[in-house]
A and B are shown apart, each in its own frame.
Chain A
Amino acid sequence: MTTAILDNVTVDFPIYGSSHKSLRQTLFAGARKLFGREAPRQPRVVVRALENVTFELNDGDRLGLIGHNGAGKSTLLRVLAGVYAPTSGIIRLEGRISPLFNASPGLDLDDTGYENIKTCGMFLGMNVSQINKRIADIASFSELGEYLDLPVRTYSSGMLTRLSFAIATSIDPDILLLDEGLATGDVRFATRAEERLNHLIARSSILVLASHSDAMIETMCNRCALLEKGHLISIGPVEQVIDLYHRRTESQAAAIGGAVAIS
């Protein structure tokens, strides 16, 4: 049984380096305390990326995440991936989580293609024999052939994309987390990539996909969640939520347009 449960999850990002809480200030604050003088307390600078997000995913759920840039889609994916522990709230996951965000984890430009397949594969949770079994598949899908013996630095960006994509999509995930724009390349590659991605999604029992493309969400997902400034506005059937998203965007645009008209 694969499940993902989020209960009132809130994530605050502390902002460092904006004069706030440097080592110097921490030391001075400590010294002041030592001499019985209370330090002038500075407010902690935080950005709230997610606020009280609650939902549950079960076997077979394909959740699309939509919302404007900065709405919290990527943060939510990273919380699900276990990268960020929530500031408050509880997250419970059962099953192997496979986050596929931008580049391949651990990819090193100075290493050869084969070396990178091994390193990335290990980071993605495969052992040596599992990696060896997949090398042929990765090599044939990426169509790199003898180039796999050369340092990745010598590859064109298209070749690099094909390699990362081939490695990333060779896993067997329980919970698959996808950030959009994983597969980009020429037209021929795009169609092959889509096919491979569909196979990968079919192998996973839960999918969470963040995307700006309505078409992508509509074809791949059976549920949809709308995020706005870190809040979960709505979660439900795909068409309904996408519709809501467009209506809210229009009314916000209208409000801004109105404000401009008044001024």
Chain B
Amino acid sequence: MKPDYAVARTDLIDGIFAFRIWTRLGWQEIKRRYRRTVFGPLWATLSLGIFIAAISFVWAPLFNADVRTYLPYLTAGMVSWSFVSALITEGCASFTAGEAIIKQLNFPYSPFTFMVVWRNTIVLFHHLAILIVVYIALPERVSFNLFLFIPGLLIVAVNGAWIVMLLGMVSARFRDIPPLIGNLVQVMLFVTPIFWEPSQLGAKARYFVTPNYLYHLIDILRSPLLGDRPAMFSYAITIVGAILGWAVTLMIYARFRRRIAYWL
């Protein structure tokens, strides 16, 4: 099948301009999940907070670490990880969830991608509440580097968008992908330095941490939250990754956009 770049381009541009729809759907989805609960979307934040607190106080002694350094590290790491991992796992369902619309209307598909990114950005901002609690307890972690969280978030969101779109497409065609990805993400939580620091691996970090793309996405979010500056290398990798990822995704999208309705 010949790639049709005009179709892909129109789809993306129309999709971006349909921001009223995908921002609305993103909010609606969050509201729907927690309808009739007292805490609403803060439930996800609350459970993440409890998880972090429990792990910190048990694992800090396990790693012979000071809770005062381990708690903020784990918090910033888990908040960043929950954003990145949710994009990956929920990306798999991005197009299958839009089936009713895709099969009924000639509507661009890209809003379903943007909706997933938007929805999880909202969730991320809820999770930042946990960090505020940590900052109140440990004010020394706040510095001007915190502002670097904004460019970091932008880079991760742009990366997230191509990941969501690509996974959504592949998952619509091959239904084995979502469980496979779900599995991998679970494993990656332990392989990526979230609970531990790369320095603990010593020289071996070069083999396990440096090639891990997720580590760099986490780094540009986590370091600013800890008051540190992310490695330039992480910025470089993730910006190049965003460009290459979008290039590959667009090539595949241009080729298979017309087939997605048939796959659903």
A positions within 8 Å CB-CB of B: 13-14, 16-17, 22-24, 26, 78, 81-85, 97, 99, 101-103, 105-106, 108, 110-111, 115, 118-119, 122-124, 127-128
Verify if B106 is at the interface (C-beta below 8 Å from A).
Answer: yes
Check A101/B32 contact, CB under 8 A, given A23-B177, A128-B20.
no
Q: Total A-B residue pairs with C-beta atoms closer than 8 Å?
A: 66
CB < 8 Å neighbour of A122 from B20, B259, B261: B20
Verify if B101 is at the interface (C-beta below 8 Å from A).
Answer: yes
Identify 17 residue pairs between A and B in the complex whose beta-carbon atoms are under 8 Å apart, listed by A's number.
A22-B174, A24-B176, A83-B104, A84-B261, A85-B258, A85-B261, A97-B106, A99-B105, A102-B104, A105-B105, A106-B101, A110-B35, A118-B24, A119-B24, A122-B18, A124-B105, A127-B20
Please give the distance in Å from B184's CB to the nearest CB on chain A.
14
Closest to B98 in A: A106
Q: Which of B3-52 contact A (CB under 8 A)?
A: 18, 20-21, 24-25, 28, 32, 35
Q: Which residues does chain A contribute within 8 Å of B103, judged by CB atoms?
A: 78, 83
Q: Which residues does chain A contribute within 8 Å of B102, judged by CB atoms?
A: 83
Q: Which of B175-206 contact A (CB under 8 A)?
A: 175-177
Verify if B263 is at the interface (C-beta below 8 Å from A).
Answer: yes
Please give the distance in Å from A106's CB to the nearest CB on chain B.
6
CB < 8 Å neighbour of A84 from B35, B100, B262: B262
Please give the distance in Å from B9's CB to the nearest CB on chain A.
16
Please give the distance in Å from A94's CB to the nearest CB on chain B.
14
Q: Which residues does chain A contribute within 8 Å of B32, judged by CB atoms?
A: 108, 110-111
Max chain A CB contacts within 10 Å: which of B18, B35, B101, B104?
Answer: B104
Q: Which residues does chain B contribute within 8 Å of A14, judged by CB atoms?
A: 262
> Is there an interface contact between B24 and A105, defined as CB atoms closer than 8 Å?
no
Closest to B101 in A: A105
Q: Which 7 pairs between the two chains have the least Cβ-Cβ distance?
A: A82-B106, A85-B258, A23-B174, A23-B176, A122-B21, A110-B32, A105-B104
> How many angstroms from the CA of A13 to the CA of B263 in the assembled complex?
9
Q: Which residues does chain B contribute within 8 Å of A103, judged by CB atoms?
A: 100
CB < 8 Å neighbour of B104 from A17, A101, A118: A101
Verify if B107 is at the interface (C-beta below 8 Å from A).
Answer: yes
Please give the distance in Å from A98's CB to the nearest CB on chain B.
9
> How many angstroms from the CA of A13 to the CA of B175 in the assembled complex?
17
Q: Which residues does chain B contribute within 8 Å of A106, judged by CB atoms?
A: 25, 100-101
Please give the distance in Å from A14's CB to the nearest CB on chain B.
6
CB < 8 Å neighbour of A16 from B18, B177, B263: B263
Closest to A13 in B: B262
- In the complex, besides A22-B174, A83-B104, 9 extra interface pairs with C-beta distance below 8 angstroms are A13-B262, A26-B174, A82-B106, A99-B106, A102-B104, A105-B105, A110-B32, A111-B32, A123-B101
Please give the distance in Å from B29's CB to the nearest CB on chain A.
9
> How many angstroms from the CA of A118 to the CA of B175 in the assembled complex?
33
